[in-house]
């Protein structure tokens, strides 16, 4: 081992020691965390503003209203179950890309291209619930922390969180990638399997608490699993579907059905989209 590598590893371990540990709700997993909630949420807002400056909102009033209503039910469920105290925002962006994201701090962006894949309100609730779960579980922060630790070990610390000009430079691309908008900036960065299983478990609970039948979550993934022909939707390319994922969702179904029983109003599958 070279002395430079030893030095870099020492810095990495020191950073890991100094970093606080956060705990993921519903799974209890401890996660590596180098970014404070305030910094993470501010990065989320910057990323949101930078995307919204470049994109156009959908002009379809009825669809925008539906996306807002479904998303609001999900965010209310997230607040009821996990109290993230986010400053929520929902935008429907007119772009033929099958994607959706919830940035840290609660900024949700749904692209019109994902609506046909959602199929009905419950499918949309499943997609938004899954993305909100990634944000509440701080998965973006965890990915960013890993990248920061690596950059620090390479002597590049400070370059990532510095600069707030909102331009789509290298730093912004890296942050957007870590926060789940990678496909929008030309980097397809799938979440790890651990993050995916957690977002499924938590997202399915949110959907059920929001009053949508959690069995529809499974149906969404089963529909997704059948899409084999290109062009593969972006959301599917960053969320690979497999038998293990569907098996885990089935295991989680009884807990989600209990949440569904707690829902104040039940919407079933909701309206077709």
The smaller minimum CB distance to Zn ion, of residues 191 and 206, is found at 191
Interacting span for Zn ion (CB under 5 A) from 71-79, 146-154, 199-207, 208-216 = 199-207
Cis peptide before 231 (omega within 30 of 0): yes
Among 199, 210, 218, 249, binds Zn ion (CB under 5 A): 199
Q: Round the CA-based radius of gyration of the chain to a whole number and report it.
A: 19
Q: What is the 3-state secondary structure (H, E, C) of 210-249?
A: CCECCHHHHHHHHHHHCCCCCCCCHHHHCCCCCHHHHHHH
The mark string for 230-249 relative to Zn ion (x by CB under 5 A, - otherwise) is ---------x----------
Give the helix ranges, DSSP H, for 25-120. Answer: 37-54, 61-82, 115-118
Distance in Å, CB of 16 to Zn ion, minimum: 25
State the DSSP code for 194. H
Q: Contact between 103 and Zn ion (CB under 5 A)? A: no
Residue labelled with tokens 């994902």: 114
Distance in Å, CB of 100 to Zn ion, minimum: 10
The smaller minimum CB distance to Zn ion, of residues 15 and 125, is found at 125
Distance in Å, CB of 239 to Zn ion, minimum: 5
Distance in Å, CB of 214 to Zn ion, minimum: 17
The mark string for 149-188 relative to Zn ion (x by CB under 5 A, - otherwise) is ----------------------------------------
State how far Cα 88 lies from the chain centre: 14
The smaller minimum CB distance to Zn ion, of residues 152 and 201, is found at 201
State how far Cα 111 lies from the chain centre: 14
Site size with Zn ion, rule: CB under 5 A: 3
Residues near Zn ion (CB under 5 A): 191, 199, 239
């Amino acid at each position: 081992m070279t002395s430079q590598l030893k030095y870099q590893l020492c810095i990495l371990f020191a950073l890991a020691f100094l970093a606080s540990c956060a705990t993921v709700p519903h799974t209890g997993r401890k996660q590596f965390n180098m970014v404070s909630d305030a910094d993470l949420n501010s990065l989320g807002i910057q990323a949101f503003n930078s995307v919204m400056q470049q994109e156009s909102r959908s002009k379809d009033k009825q669809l925008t209203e539906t996306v807002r209503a479904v998303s609001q039910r999900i965010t209310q469920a997230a607040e009821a179950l996990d109290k993230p105290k986010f400053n929520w925002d929902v935008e429907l962006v007119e772009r033929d890309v099958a994607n959706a994201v919830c940035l840290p701090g609660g900024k949700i962006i749904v692209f019109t291209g994902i609506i046909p894949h959602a199929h009905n309100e419950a499918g949309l609730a499943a997609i938004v619930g899954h993305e909100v779960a990634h944000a509440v579980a701080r998965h973006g922060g965890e990915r960013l922390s890993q990248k920061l630790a690596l950059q620090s070990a390479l002597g590049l610390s400070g370059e990532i969180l510095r600069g707030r000009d909102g331009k789509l430079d290298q730093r912004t691309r890296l942050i957007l990638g870590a926060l789940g908008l990678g496909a929008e900036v030309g980097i397809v960065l799938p979440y790890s399997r651990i993050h995916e299983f957690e977002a499924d478990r938590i997202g399915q609970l949110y959907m059920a608490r929001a009053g949508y039948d959690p069995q529809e979550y499974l149906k969404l993934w089963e529909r997704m699993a059948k899409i084999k022909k290109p062009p593969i939707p972006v959301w599917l390319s960053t969320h690979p579907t497999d038998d293990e994922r569907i098996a885990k969702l089935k295991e989680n179904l009884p807990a989600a059905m209990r949440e569904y029983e707690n829902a104040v109003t039940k919407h079933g599958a909701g309206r077709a989209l």
